[in-house]
Amino acid sequence: MKIPEDGYLLRIFIGESDIDGGRPLYEVIVQEAKTAGLAGATVLRGSMGFGANSRLHTAKILRLSEDLPVVIEIVDSKEKINQFIDRIDGRITEGLITLEKVRVIKYRSNQN
C-alpha cells in the first residue's frame, strides 16, 4: 500500500469509556479503518485532559478516572480520509475530529 507524500492526518479525540454496539468506540473506529483499507491507525491513551463539557479526566493515583482521553490517529490520502470520516461520523456523539495536511516521509512494511 502506498500513501501519497502529501497525506492527511485524521485525529479523533474521544473518551475511553465511549461505547458503540457494546464495544469500546476506539476499537470500533480502528476496525472500521482496517475494513476501509486505510494505511494504519494508532490509539493513544492520554493521562489527563478535558473536552467540550470541561470535565477534567486524569490518571492521578488518588483520582483514578475510568474515562481517560483517547486519541486515534490515521494517516492516508485526502480522498480516503474524507470517505472514512463520512463512514464513522454518526458513531461519534461526543468528541473532536481534526484533519491536517502532513508530509509523509516514509511508509514501509518489512513484508514488501
In sequence order, the 6+-apart residues with CB closer than 8 A to the CB of 105 are: none
Domain holding 10, by residue range, is: 6-103
Is residue 109 domain-resident?
A: no
Pairwise CA distance, residues 43 & 18, whole Å = 14
| Total domains in the fold of the chain | 1
From residue 22, give the alpha-carbon distance in Å to each of 15, 27, 77.
15, 11, 30
Is residue 111 domain-resident?
A: no
CATH of the domain at 43: 3.30.70.120
Is residue 60 domain-resident?
A: yes
Q: Determine the Cα angle at 39 with ends 34 and 43, to 5°.
A: 65
Is residue 108 domain-resident?
A: no
Is residue 110 domain-resident?
A: no
DSSP-based helix, strand, coil % in the chain, nearest 5: 20, 35, 45
15-38 confidence digits (pLDDT tens): 999 999 999 999 999 999 999 999
Is residue 93 domain-resident?
A: yes
Beta bridge partners of 45: 70
Answer yes or no: is pLDDT of 61 > 70.
Answer: no
Q: Give the global pTM.
A: 0.85
